[in-house]
Amino acid sequence: MAVRDAARAILSSLRSEIEAGNLDSKTLELAVEQIDAAVDRQVRRDLRYSLRSVINATGVILHTNLGRAPLSNAILDHIAGTSLSYSNLEFDLETGQRGKRDIHVDRLFRKVLEIVDRLVRDSSNQAYAEISTIVVNNNAAAVLLALNTLAEGGEVIVSRGELVEIGGSFRIPDVMAKSNAVLREVGTTNRTRIQDYERAISEKTRLLLRVHRSNFQITGFTEQPELDELVQLSRKRKIPLMEDLGSGALFDLRSVGVTGEPTVLDSLQAGVDLVTYSGDKLLGGPQAGMLSGRADLIARMRSNSLFRALRVDKLTYAALEATLMAYVKSDHDAIPAVRMMRLSKQQIANRAETIVSAARSPKLVLELVDGESLIGGGAAPSASLPTCLIAVSLSHKDADEISKRLRAADPPVVARVDEGRVLLDLRTVFPEHDNSLIRALQHIASD
Ligand SMILES: *Cc1c(COP(=O)(O)O)cnc(C)c1O
């Protein structure tokens, strides 16, 4: 069937070329001779998967267009181990009764949030409310579920400086409308004070919402209440405080030199009642949306019928469980996105030198230049890491042509183009792909 379709497509394009009078007898003869080969190529194209592995040489670690966080072999092993046969997804092996699918990761989230707690606070015995976690399809779904559960028919107070659009048409006001909650905006774009929240509280208020400014900064004449002030207000008026963290780091980014990016634990420790965050951003796992917070609020989300509609598959639970296990063991290098963040500029420069000397050819000019990798994926927009870039130039070819040729390689190489220059950042290239990258560079210089 694939061959028949391919043959039809090739013959019909040849027929229209003839009808249009594009072919003289010589080129026609040639085209007819090559029908076999053309059909063969077409069949290969048709039977190739559309979703393919690519080499991300952009240096953006959590690149939404390139699938955000890559997974590891340990994660794939756990997916294979639990989904190539049946599993205890919703079955309690001890009692033989029906179980809940979310217990598999809730247990680990509790552990991770405790471990980080010990690292950050050096064994303090301050008690805080029991925290539990549930998982839905993505963070957009988590926000929708939280607003619908906690604020349907009532008002949610948000600062005008946080009415963000994340991209892919996730806009806080739109999600609010879909959840049947009423948005109560306070403050101005650049300045919101705690008194603005306080004045807006009425008997209709159900929730105070703080949204992480994932993809933009407001600088200059600005003001935003401290998280502590919001916590105090929420406790005083007995209205829950929710924070949409977006990226949801489970490890301290200060360890890689990035400041101002709150971790999930920072927020929970500060007293936020509920946080939402993505699985495939700074957490470094599969696409998912987490709701972590006060167990009584989480219980209400769990019994909302939306939770059933937004639930995730066993593949996601397996991937999340394996990712969280790496955090429990403090084995951060087992999580590819986190490992990339921890690479030093020197480690990257060493690999870059090897690639440059292996791929050098008369037409190809490869230079090492200093630059910055981006964390991306809704981490602080300024979050960048020093790196060493390979600048690629090819005689008589502009940056667009070079990056197009790199994309045509197998596997395709996606480069960064900056001010008319093609740049490759090895921070996001897996070392096992270095040889493919060398071949791609040799190939673009060979014709
Ligand atoms: C990324 C992000 C979202 C959307 O998360 P998805 O997992 O992509 O659905 C929502 N809010 C914030 C603040 C974000 O950064």
Q: Whose alpha carbon is nearest atom 10 of ligand 1?
A: 246
Pocket perturbation via mutation, ligand 1, pick of 158, 159, 166, 272 by most ligand atoms within 8 A of CB: 166
- How high is the pLDDT of residue 278? 95
Class for the domain spanning 55-69+339-446: alpha beta
The more confident residue out of 54 and 7 is 54
Instruction: Give the pLDDT confidence of 254-306 residue by residue, as tens digits.
Output: 888 888 788 999 999 899 999 999 999 999 999 999 999 999 999 999 999 99
Q: Is the pLDDT of residue 120 over 70?
A: no
- How high is the pLDDT of residue 259? 82
Residue range 72-90: mean pLDDT, rounded: 97
- How high is the pLDDT of residue 167? 64
- How high is the pLDDT of residue 114? 76
Class for the domain spanning 73-334: alpha beta
Pocket perturbation via mutation, ligand 1, pick of 278, 281, 287, 312 by most ligand atoms within 8 A of CB: 278
CA of 58 to the centre of ligand 1 (A): 21
Three-state SS letters, the chain: CHHHHHHHHHHHHHHHHHHCCCCCHHHHHHHHHCHHHHHHHHHHHHCCCCCCCCEECCCEEECHHHCCCCCCHHHHHHHHHHHCCCCCCCECCCCCCECCCCHHHHHHHHHHHHHHHHHHHCCCCCCCCCEEEEEECCHHHHHHHHHHHHHCCCEEEEEHHHCCECCCCCEHHHHHHHCCCEEEEECCCCECCHHHHHHHCCCCEEEEEEECCCCCCCCCCCECCCHHHHHHHHHHHCCCEEEEEECCECCCHHHHCCCCCCEHHHHHHHCCCEEEEECCCCCCCCCCEEEEEEHHHHHHHHCCHHHHHCCCCHHHHHHHHHHHHHHHCCCHHHCHHHHHHHCCHHHHHHHHHHHHHHHCECCEEEEEEEEEEEEECCCCCCCEEEEEEEEEEECCECHHHHHHHHHCCCCCEECEEECCEEEEEHHHCCHHHHHHHHHHHHHHCCC
CA of 246 to the centre of ligand 1 (A): 4
What rounded mean pLDDT belongs to the chain?
90
Q: Given the CA of residue 64, which atom of ligand 1 is nearest to it?
A: 8
Q: Whose alpha carbon is nearest atom 6 of ligand 1?
A: 139
CA of 277 to the centre of ligand 1 (A): 7
Instruction: Give the pLDDT confidence of 191-208 residue by residue, as tens digits.
Output: 899 999 999 999 999 999
Q: Is the pLDDT of residue 359 over 50?
A: yes
Listed by start position, the domains of the chain span 2-46, 55-69+339-446, 73-334
Q: Given the CA of residue 143, which atom of ligand 1 is nearest to it?
A: 10
